[in-house]
């Protein structure tokens, strides 16, 4: 299907995004008014809670407005289902009516799953709401899907447009405590969003320029943030680029994952590899594969990235895609993020399973991609 056909509607759930260094102190109280909520459960990770002042700063603002219930910080990478169940219980125990998630994709997705559980248990028409305060560049705050890991160690999830966070606060000053490797690797995750949205047939054409603009910003500002980690303006620009890479969408038909994300989900949950790093492993090789298997329209979308990166064309569409793959691979190296599956102790014999359905016509090529990043 051509991307010249389609429709687009902003999600009705996401009411407001506030952004700017230091905006937390005014944005959070404003969201309390907009959303008409009274008592928050802060959902976050142990490191942010115990080793930084980020959660305390948020807690103090909530207390000033008599809106603080409690903190739940037993959230881990890939969100084991036990954390969902315990978080839902904490929500009830504290008498909360909304969640403030703080951190990266894990607490934000965990909050969606917690609210989904509460929603279904109560049988109400809508779930309680979430305010997301991200400290990484993974952009989970703009989606309504929530991935978590079940008892068997398999990544599963819930999806509903009503699970999209109702408010987002992008205060770059809160990201200063984020470890460098996490900050930079989630930036590559957002690069992955840009690239894969360009190859999704039903992704609205009018949003693709945002992907190109975000991609150019990541190439410009990720090296600067590595060299100048205290530069809050650069961090703010990167947070806005992350939003452009994964603009909020309502329709179910836009939730299909690209191959890099799909392989990343399989690697991440099974071998406890962060999603930012899985993109560092898979994206360049999967992108090079698109030069072989993508539709002509999607190939042109990818080749056009060179124009936005101010890079000369190779003279062919396929050559331009391979050059884009090489540029992203070099960016990963320059950021100190080059990674392989073997570094994370993924057994080579697991590659056929990770490649998916052996009946897929592209299965041999996917196996080849995984072998190349081992």
| 3-class DSSP assignment, residue 181 | helix
pLDDT digits (tens, 9 = 90+) for 246-268: 988 765 555 557 899 999 989 98
Residue ranges of the domains in the chain? 16-177, 180-372
Compute how many other C-beta atoms are within 10 angstroms of the C-beta atom of residue 97.
17
pLDDT of residue 200: 84
pLDDT of residue 5: 57
CA distance 176 to 86: 29
Which is it for the CA torsion 123, 125, 130, 136, positive or negative? Answer: positive
Q: List per-residue pLDDT tens for the chain, 374 residues long.
A: 455 555 556 678 899 999 999 999 999 999 999 999 999 999 999 999 999 999 999 999 999 999 999 999 988 776 788 889 999 999 999 999 999 999 999 999 999 999 999 999 999 999 999 999 999 999 999 988 887 777 766 677 888 989 999 999 999 999 999 999 999 999 999 999 999 999 887 788 888 999 999 999 999 999 999 999 999 999 999 999 999 999 887 655 555 578 999 999 899 878 989 989 999 999 999 999 999 999 999 999 999 999 999 999 999 999 999 999 999 999 999 999 999 999 999 999 999 999 998 999 989 999 999 999 99
pLDDT of residue 11: 74
- Polymer length in residues for the chain: 374
Tokens (6 digits) for 101 = 């998630």
Q: Is 179 exposed, middle or buried (0-12, 13-18, 19+ CB in 10 A)?
A: exposed
Is the separation of the CB atoms in 138 and 104 below 8 Å? yes
**16-177: CATH topology:** Rossmann fold (3.40.50)
Dump strand ranges (E) for the chain: 16-19, 40-45, 68-75, 98-103, 129-134, 145-149, 155-159, 167-170
Q: Which CATH class is domain 180-372?
A: mainly alpha
Is the separation of the CB atoms in 264 and 279 below 8 Å? yes
Is the separation of the CB atoms in 305 and 314 below 8 Å? no
CA distance 206 to 56: 40
Q: What Cα–Cα distance (Å) separates residue 295 from each residue in 182, 263, 282, 357?
A: 33, 20, 20, 21
pLDDT of residue 1: 46
CA distance 15 to 33: 12
| 3-class DSSP assignment, residue 25 | helix
pLDDT of residue 255: 54
CA distance 290 to 128: 40
Q: Which value, to the nearest 10 degrees, does the dihedral of the CA atoms of residues 333, 337, 341, 344 take?
A: 150
> What is the reported pTM?
0.94
CA distance 262 to 184: 21
């Amino acid at each position: 299907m051509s991307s010249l056909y389609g429709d687009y509607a902003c999600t009705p759930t996401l009411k407001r995004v506030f952004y700017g260094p230091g905006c937390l102190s005014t944005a959070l109280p404003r969201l309390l008014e907009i959303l008409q909520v009274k008592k928050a459960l802060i959902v976050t990770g142990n490191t942010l809670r115990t080793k930084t002042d980020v959660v305390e700063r948020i807690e103090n603002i909530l207390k000033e407005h008599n809106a603080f219930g409690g903190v739940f910080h037993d959230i881990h990478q890939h969100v084991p289902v036990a954390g969902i169940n315990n978080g839902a219980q904490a929500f009830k125990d504290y008498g909360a009516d909304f969640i403030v998630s703080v951190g990266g994709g894990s607490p934000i997705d965990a909050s969606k799953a917690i609210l989904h559980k509460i929603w279904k248990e109560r049988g109400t028409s809508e779930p309680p709401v979430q305010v997301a305060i991200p400290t990484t560049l993974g952009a989970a705050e703009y989606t309504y899907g929530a991935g978590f890991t079940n008892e068997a160690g398999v990544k599963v999830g819930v999806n509903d447009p009503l699970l999209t966070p109702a408010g987002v606060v992008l205060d770059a000053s809160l990201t200063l405590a984020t470890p460098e490797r996490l900050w930079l690797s989630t930036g590559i995750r957002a690069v992955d969003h840009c690239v894969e949205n360009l190859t999704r047939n039903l992704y609205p054409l009018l949003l693709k320029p945002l992907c190109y603009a975000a991609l150019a910003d990541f190439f410009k500002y990720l090296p600067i943030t590595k060299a100048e980690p205290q530069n809050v303006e650069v961090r703010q620009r990167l947070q806005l680029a992350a939003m452009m890479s994964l603009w909020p969408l309502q329709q179910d038909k836009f939730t299909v994952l690209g191959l890099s994300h799909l392989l990343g989900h399989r690697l991440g949950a099974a071998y406890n590899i962060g999603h930012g790093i899985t993109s560092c492993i898979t994206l360049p090789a999967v992108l090079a594969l698109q030069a072989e298997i993508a539709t002509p329209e999607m190939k042109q979308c990818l080749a056009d990235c060179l124009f936005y990166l101010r890079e000369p064309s190779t003279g062919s569409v396929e050559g331009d895609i391979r050059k884009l793959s090489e540029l992203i691979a070099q960016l990963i190296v320059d950021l100190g993020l080059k990674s392989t599956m073997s570094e994370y102790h993924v057994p080579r014999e697991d590659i056929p399973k990770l490649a998916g359905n052996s009946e897929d016509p592209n299965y041999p090529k996917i196996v080849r991609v995984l072998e190349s990043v081992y």
